[in-house]
Amino acid sequence: VFVSGRWQPQPRHAPLVLTLIIIAAFVAWFTGFGQNTLSTYLTMTDPRVHDFGTFAARVQALLATLSNGEIWRLLSPDFLHFSWMHIIFNSVMLWFLGSQIEWFDGRQRLLVLFIVVSVLSNGFQYLMSGPLFGGLSGVVYGILGYCWLSQRWRPRFQFPPALITFAVAWMALGYTPLSEILGLGRMANEAHLGGFLAGLALALILPVPKKAPPKGGA
């Protein structure tokens, strides 16, 4: 897994992460990067059916959607992406960080992180702005927050110290008009913030594994 001291996993080291990335790629392809009607089956609520102009309307729409058994919508916005750059950036970050969690802390821990962070980050974004968003960035922020804080108790993850600074600065940038001025469009700011806070909380709640896989294997 480590080559010349650097984390360089192969697919067999992180099959769950690889599966999530493959699903996201297929969804991006089949939804035309969120441009066709298939994407409306993956948003938190169906924007063709429900009103989402007010907070109360969004809550009512979500409750109606979940009561109809459409539970998958709590997670499915993760797999919606709106450009190649969008999915490539999220996939690279998910592979680099998520693969370390899957290897050191186990697949079950990563699955718990994915589900909890997804529900909280997607839910926060939806309640603040409605269903027109998507991407794995909320999960990436959650994983980064988990890695950064959990690392304080037991060092095992490898990432540049500047990454957390860059991520927080990028998140703050999303709350300014600069992202749209630069042509980056509107960011899913609440998903980023919700995911990051969820990851920090899980690092505090979940016990740090006592043992990690050895660093020598490939």
Angle at which helices 84-104 and 15-30 pack, to 10 degrees? 160
Which one of the listed residues 91, 99, 137, 150 is annotated catalytic? 137
Which one of the listed residues 13, 50, 86, 192 is annotated catalytic? 192
Tokens 């709590």 belong to which residue? 74
Tokens of 50: 């429900």
* Residue 179 known to be catalytic: no
Tokens of 97: 């960080």
Tokens of 23: 């699903």
CA dist list (Å): 97 to 3, 22, 90, 148:
16, 16, 11, 10
Tokens 């890695």 belong to which residue? 147
What is the C-alpha to C-alpha distance for residues 100 and 93, in angstroms, rounded to an integer? 11
* Residue 39 known to be catalytic: no
What is the identity of the amino acid at 149? L
Tokens of 58: 């969004």
Instruction: Report the catalytic residues.
Output: 137, 192
